[in-house]
Structure 1
């Protein structure tokens, strides 16, 4: 057994996120499971860039209200206690609404060379506004 009493809160890298985003790593990918898990907190209006995961991603919302969007224009509004599963290779983004923070535990399985995430371009203001309007802002 390993007891980890505390992990530092880090500012998420600006090249991967818009707005103020903070994270606490829960688990880094390592043998044998390659699980990566983090508690990620988005302030209102903050969001990830477009990205995908080689083996998919699971998001469990712990607090607030947020959005998860896909390239085909699909957007779901999520609240505390809800889970979203993003399949392998699906380009998507996630973040808070414009008025409410959102926190989730993000979980991915890596492939031995990291967490299998491919980071892409930022979500534009137009894409974000359309997602808000499409989910009943």
Structure 2
């Protein structure tokens, strides 16, 4: 699937390679690690309809994740809350311990920079896929 010229021209960082965590995604995503020192950051590109599984960023102290949306249209949802539509310029702060998912809308590429908030004894727990019927209801 090809990215529209509008979105392609707005992308700041290279798309990167196929995401090595792809087994935790429905659809195809790409990862370009921007920093592995100090604050870990990666540019994640989702093809239309690609979302990740529910997951939790764990830490004994600090931790969590920040999403800096740079292109396209996507979704973010925390367990027990309504999904939020995301667009370029949106910022999502995800505290450690919050079960959530994020990814592209069905009809749009979606690009965000994922920032790992520094913390102690951090880990990521990948969980079940998002219910496909729930995702299909999103516009």
Tell me the TM-score range normalised by the shorter chain. 0.7 to 0.9
Match of 1:63 among 66, 71, 88: 71
Gaps of 5+ in 1: 1-5
Structure 1 residue runs of 4+, over 4 Å off?
110-113
Question: Where does structure 2 lack aligned partners over 5 or more consecutive residues?
Answer: 1-12
Identify the residue that residue 36 of structure 1 maps to in structure 2: 40
Q: How big is the alpha-carbon RMSD for the aligned residues of Structure 1 and Structure 2?
A: 2.1
- For the residue of structure 2 that corresponds to 1:122, the secondary structure is coil
Which deviations, in whole Å up to 9, do the C-alpha atoms of 1:81-134 show, x marking residues without a partner? 110111110000000000011100001135566x5221111112112123x1xx
Paired residue for 1:80? Answer: 88
TM-score computed with the length of structure 1 as normaliser? 0.79
Aligned to 1:50: 54
Per the normalisation by structure 2, the TM-score is 0.78
Give the distance between the partners of 1:81 and 1:9, measured in 2 at CA.
Answer: 21
- What is the aligned length? 122
